[in-house]
Amino acid sequence: MLEMVAQVGVSAMYYDLLKPVNRSAARISAIIGLTGCGIKTFARLFYYAPLILLRGASYLSAFPPAQLEVLSLAFIKINNQGAAMALIFFGFETLLRGWLLFKAEFLPRFLGVLSMVSGLGWLTYLWPPLGSQAFIGVALFAITGVIATVGWLFIRGVDDVKWKERAALAATSIWR
């Protein structure tokens, strides 16, 4: 759950950072990311269900233990499917965010490229067998991109002058 709370915060912060590049695209990216957060949070309910079923509550004594175990496994599999569906949303969010980072003149373009490649990696979950096979490689690449982006933002930050110029231009434009 903490992961999803953090992801909501990240989506909101990237919206604020990238809206001078393209407000509509930044908004769409944030909405897609928040949708993914909702899906993954809902999927996690199924992850907790086995804890309830297998804890041995008296009202569950009507079910044989084998039946409770099968139900628990089914709930864990539903959680996994839900988390995989959320990764598709995170893939589209990350791909779009990467495009915005690439177009931003106040951050280096390589951060956008890392993000777009990571987004394409998460989109392998459009075909779940491929996504499952590629997960470790995609996750390692995505973590590398996140570390590079967070490191850049903490150490170098954005080019304030270029960001403010972009924000002023976006505020006066009817197209952004």
Domains of the chain by residue range: 2-172
Tell me what percent of the residues of the chain surpass a pLDDT of 70: 98
Question: What is the dihedral sign for C-alpha 115, 148, 24, 175?
Answer: negative
Q: Which of 13-27, 48-62, 139-153 has the lowest mean pLDDT?
A: 48-62
In terms of Cβ atoms closer than 10 Å to its own Cβ (0-12, 13-18, 19+), residue 25 is: middle
Summary mean pLDDT of the chain = 93
Q: Are 119 and 32 in contact (CB under 8 A)?
A: no
pLDDT over threshold 60, residue 132: yes
pTM recorded for the entire structure: 0.86
The torsion angles phi and psi of 22, rounded to 5 degrees, stand at -165, 105
pLDDT over threshold 80, residue 141: yes
Give the pLDDT score at 108. Answer: 96
Concatenate the DSSP letters of all residues of 45-104 into one string. Answer: HHHHHHHHHTS--GGGTTS-HHHHHHHHHHHHHHHHHHHHHHHHHHHHHHHHHHHHHHH-
How large is the average pLDDT for residues 19-26? 94
Confidence bin at 56 (pLDDT 50/70/90):
confident
Residue closest to 131 by CA, chosen among 146, 120, 147: 120
- Give tens-digit pLDDT for 80-121: 999 999 999 999 999 999 999 999 999 999 999 999 999 999
